[in-house]
Homo-oligomer: A and B are copies of this chain.
Amino acid sequence: MEFLNKNLVFLIPLFGVVGILFMAAKSAWVTKQASGDAKMTELAGYIADGAMAFLRAEWRILAYFVAITMILLAYSGTTVETSSPVIAISFVIGALFSAFAGYLGMRIATKANVRTTEAAKTSLAQALKVSFTGGTVMGLGVAGLAIIGLGSLFIVFYQMYVVKTGGNVNGKDMEKALEVLAGFSLGAESIALFARVGGGIYTKAADVGADLVGKVEAGIPEDDVRNPATIADNVGDNVGDVAGMGADLFGSYVATMLATMVLGREIVSEDQFGGIAPILLPMLIAGLGLVFSIVGASFVGIKKETNSVQNALNLGNWISIILTAIATFFAVRWLLPDTTMSIRGVNFTKTDVFLSIAVGLVVGTLMSIITEYYTAMGKRPVMSIIKQSSTGHATNIIAGLAVGMESTVLPILVLAAGIYGSFHFAGLYGVAIAAAGMMSTTAMQLAIDAFGPIADNAGGIAEMSQLPEEVRHRTDILDAVGNTTAATGKGFAIASAALTSLALFAAFVGVAGIDHIDIYKADVLSGLFVGGMIPFIFSALCISAVGRAAMAMVQEVRRQFREIPGIMEYKAKPEYEKCVAISTQASLREMVAPGLIALITPLIVGFTFGPEVLGGLLAGVTVSGVLMGIFQSNAGGAWDNAKKSFEKGVEINGEIYYKKSELHKASVTGDTVGDPFKDTSGPSMNILIKLMSIVSLIIAPHIHVENNGITKIKPQINKEIKIMPVKTALVKIKP
């Protein structure tokens, strides 16, 4: 125990290593499964190649971005005492780790998809096993890399800035170490933004484009091998829903830990770890969550064809959450001192810290439940959309928009209560650690999330390979569960982002050296307005990008049908790669503008108007971003399930409506509108608000220094002015 106490900081990355080892084992297991016949392998090859092509093209663009940002960060060293070349390196490592996490997940997803199809030939149980194991690889990879990266860099910077200089763990030295560590989070989060937005545009452009020409114009089914855009559509699932989401959660996970660590520095703690227990705690919780995610994942599985897949996933999820909560209780008791701690005037004990974590877990759970209610089939919100489809496209849209707007109420009340509650227990550290608690089982969450697109792809391959009905039926069951987990995952993500942003916000206030953000000041309120507007323009850019890219896709598919004779008769092969290229180029071109808005706005506002106005901007972005995120994700999810309800058959006033009824057509319109809402702009909101907070945190010392500079200059001017009248007075007296 003595040894453990002394070396805990060095042990943390080991949790990550455990995760990576398990990931490798599971990855090997997936790879060795049968990958089906030649046709299936060929199609899966196209998908894998397309996905890799996108990733390579994306990396090429992001390399410029990373290089430029690195130089800017390194150069900024001339104005601040923070060692800027180090933050530049930290940033690059963060970017690389994030990209690598996305790559790992996508590589295994593009292997697991066809193997799931092959497994679905035998049984649902086996298909679930393969697809969920594929998802687990993603989850463990992301969580493992995050803990290794953050944990190791913390060791390095802690040694460099604090231990070697004999510095103060609560003072400027530790602040510098954490400030440099924020570079890692900046790298991770900016890659996440581009991956999420680019991937989101890719997947929906291909999806909408393929549907519009294939289903509507040519009258061929979804995922038909004759549709030139079908490969692009399946690639999209991988680059958007797997790689994009992986990078997204990698970023969230890191940002949450970082924000808690930055706030933890302010706590004077008489613990047995040299006073850094509050800083270590979030990483330890994450490590425990990773281990218990492995445990929970091992419980996921079904015995019989008729068993509920959803229940199997829920069981695994609950096991991880409960075990992690118990372990966290003991971790808090072990790490934190018995004495009262304090942050910015709020006193708290270690019990309070655990209660804050509990608040975070409750908030996360409630958010998932509420999201499920608003997007699930058979519940009142989706039913209202179904009912209003009977008077046409317009009323379907009105109903969906109303559901989306209404669905913000309960999550916001839960969130507000969560902020209030976690703050009540342990001040701002409480808010941050609540987010860390919520995010602790990210590995499990991500496994459940990533299994969805794998199953979706598996279904696509089954359809394209014209496999028997029962195979498609099994993959459809998995796909349907995937849709629900995708929706609840988004509710979870937005809640954690809101708490994390608040924690980052608080960290920013501390580093910037201001002690209030007073919205009743005109300039701060202006900042709040501008901040509130950012999610609107960001969403507008995302959804109109999908619209434009989908139109380009439609034109290419029409061209191929026209110019390549024999496609329809299976005699000629469509040029899949051309559609893949269109989606790739369009998404990469369109991701730049929203990305730059997120990155540059805080810089302009911060350097022009100072930290308090920037604080107002951040508050505006956070509130408006959370609202727009919930609104768009839930409206999209509800529209999707209203459409799916018609595909199953819906009874209204004694009459039953199926696919191809006028009501179903209206619901398809809603679903198409909802696509970019729920898969492009909606889920980007949480990255947007976190990224803007991190950028602000990174520039905080610079604005701080500038303010100090002004303050330093001002007294001198005042002194001169004070001297002047005296002199004049003297001159007057003289004569």
Q: Please list the residues of chain A having a beta carbon within 8 angstroms of any beta carbon in chain B.
A: 208, 212, 216, 384, 388, 391-395, 397-399, 401-406, 408-409, 412-413, 415-417, 419-420, 422-424, 428, 431, 498, 502, 505-506, 509, 516-520, 522-523, 525-530, 532-533, 536-537, 539-541, 543-544, 546-547, 550-551, 554, 615-616, 619-620, 623-624, 626-627, 631, 668-670, 672-673, 676
A505 to B524, CA, bound (A): 14
- Residues of the B chain whose Cβ atoms lie less than 8 Å from the Cβ of A405: 536-537, 539-540, 543
A517 to B525, CA, bound (A): 11
- Residues of the B chain whose Cβ atoms lie less than 8 Å from the Cβ of A516: 516, 518, 520
- Residues of the B chain whose Cβ atoms lie less than 8 Å from the Cβ of A216: 392
A67 to B631, CA, bound (A): 37
Asked if B519 and A509 sit within 8 Å, CB to CB, the answer is no
Q: At the interface, is chain A mostly helix, strand, loop or mixed?
A: helix
A253 to B528, CA, bound (A): 25
A528 to B620, CA, bound (A): 9
Nearest first, the 10 A-B pairs at minimum CB distance are A423-B522, A394-B672, A405-B540, A416-B526, A402-B544, A406-B540, A412-B533, A532-B623, A405-B536, A516-B518
Contact status of A398 and B544, CB under 8 A, knowing A408-B536, A536-B405, A551-B388: yes
Asked if A401 and B543 sit within 8 Å, CB to CB, the answer is yes
Asked if A522 and B431 sit within 8 Å, CB to CB, the answer is yes
- Residues of the B chain whose Cβ atoms lie less than 8 Å from the Cβ of A393: 393, 669
- Residues of the B chain whose Cβ atoms lie less than 8 Å from the Cβ of A551: 388, 391, 395
Asked if B620 and A623 sit within 8 Å, CB to CB, the answer is yes
Contact status of A528 and B623, CB under 8 A, knowing A406-B537, A516-B520, A543-B402: yes
Contact status of A554 and B615, CB under 8 A, knowing A547-B399, A624-B623: no
Asked if B543 and A398 sit within 8 Å, CB to CB, the answer is yes
**A-B contacts, 23 listed (Cβ < 8 Å):** A212-B391, A212-B392, A216-B392, A394-B669, A398-B543, A398-B676, A401-B543, A405-B536, A405-B539, A408-B536, A412-B529, A413-B530, A417-B526, A419-B526, A420-B523, A502-B522, A516-B516, A529-B626, A532-B532, A533-B627, A536-B627, A624-B624, A669-B669
- Residues of the B chain whose Cβ atoms lie less than 8 Å from the Cβ of A627: 532-533, 536, 624
Contact status of A525 and B672, CB under 8 A, knowing A533-B408, A623-B624: no
Asked if B517 and A388 sit within 8 Å, CB to CB, the answer is no
Minimum Cβ distance to chain B for residue A613 (Å): 10
Contact status of A547 and B398, CB under 8 A, knowing A212-B391, A412-B533, A623-B528: yes
How many copies the complex holds: the figure is: 2
- Residues of the B chain whose Cβ atoms lie less than 8 Å from the Cβ of A539: 402, 405
**A401-B673, A422-B522 known; 6 other A-B pairs, CB under 8 Å?**
A395-B547, A402-B543, A405-B540, A505-B520, A519-B616, A533-B627
A533 to B628, CA, bound (A): 10
Most buried by B among A212, A540, A626, A631: A540
- Residues of the B chain whose Cβ atoms lie less than 8 Å from the Cβ of A540: 401-406
Contact status of A428 and B522, CB under 8 A, knowing A402-B547, A547-B402, A551-B391: yes
- Residues of the B chain whose Cβ atoms lie less than 8 Å from the Cβ of A401: 540, 543, 673
Contact status of A398 and B519, CB under 8 A, knowing A533-B409, A619-B528: no
A485 to B544, CA, bound (A): 28
Asked if A554 and B391 sit within 8 Å, CB to CB, the answer is yes
Partner of A518, one of B391, B517, B620: B517
A392 to B672, CA, bound (A): 10
